[in-house]
Amino acid sequence: MDTAYSLDSLRTTVHAWRRDGARVALVPTMGNLHDGHLSLLERAGALANRTVVSIFVNPIQFGKGEDYARYPSTLDADREKLAAAGLDLLFAPNLDALYPGGIEEDTRVTVPGLSNILCGQYRPGHFSGVATVVTKLFINIQPDIALFGEKDYQQVMVIKRMAHDLLMPVEIVGMPIVREPNGLAMSSRNEYLTAEERLRASQIFANLNAAAAKLERQDQSLIAIETAAMAVLAAAGFRPEYFSVRRAEDLTAPRVGDTSLQILAAAWLGGARLIDNVRVELTRPLATL
> So which residues are the catalytic ones?
37
Strand partners, 256: none
Cα–Cα distance, 9 to 6 (Å, whole number): 5
| R_g (Cα) of the chain, nearest Å | 20
Cα atoms in the Cβ-side hemisphere of radius 13 Å centred on 64: 0
- Among the listed residues 70, 172, 59, the one whose alpha carbon sits nearest the alpha carbon of residue 125: 59
Closest to 103 measured CA to CA, from 112, 94, 111, 95: 95
What is the rounded CA–CA span in Å between residue 80 and residue 82? 5
Burial readout 58-86 (b: 16 or more C-beta within 10 A, e: otherwise): bbbbbeeeeeeeebeeeeeebbebbeebe
Angle at CA of residue 57, ends 52 and 58, nearest 5°: 100
Question: Of 75, 72, 63, which Cα lies nearest the Cα of 5?
Answer: 75
Sheet with 171-175, edge to edge strand ranges: 2-4, 89-91, 50-55, 24-29, 145-149, 171-175
Q: List, in sequence order, every residue forming a beta bridge with 63; answer none if it has no partner.
A: none
